[in-house]
Amino acid sequence: MIHNWRKASYSVDNSSCVETGWADDMVGYRDTKQASLSDTERPTLLFSKDAAHAFITMLKSTIG
């Protein structure tokens, strides 16, 4: 289970952003607009660290 969720630094006071967290060999992403739900109720995308790294690398290559 992921306990160290962090809000994206680009969003400062904006409630419309993504949180990310990690545990062992897993990375999770979730929507901050659903903060009123409990951790077990909030929809969360979970990926292996390798899959998350490949996804972020692909995003960076298409943006930059």
pLDDT number for residue 14: 64
Strand, coil or helix: 19? strand
Contact call for residues 8 and 20 (beta carbons, < 8 A): yes
**What are the tens digits of pLDDT across the range 7-60?**
877 766 666 788 999 999 999 999 888 888 988 899 999 999 999 999 889 989
Let me know if residue 32 belongs to a domain. Answer: yes
Into how many domains does the chain fold?
1
Q: What angle (nearest 5°) sits at the alpha carbon of residue 16, between those of residues 43 and 54? A: 60
- CA 47 vs CA 10, 22, 23, 24, 64: distances in Å: 22, 9, 11, 11, 24
Let me know if residue 52 belongs to a domain. Answer: yes
* Residue type at position 15: S
Let me know if residue 22 belongs to a domain. Answer: yes
pLDDT number for residue 39: 81
Let me know if residue 19 belongs to a domain. Answer: yes
pLDDT number for residue 32: 85
Where in the sequence is the domain holding 53, given as residue range(s)? Answer: 6-63
* Average pLDDT of the segment spanning 2-9: 85
Let me know if residue 1 belongs to a domain. Answer: no
- Which residue is listed with tokens 């160290």? 4
Instruction: Give the predicted TM-score (pTM) of the model.
Output: 0.77
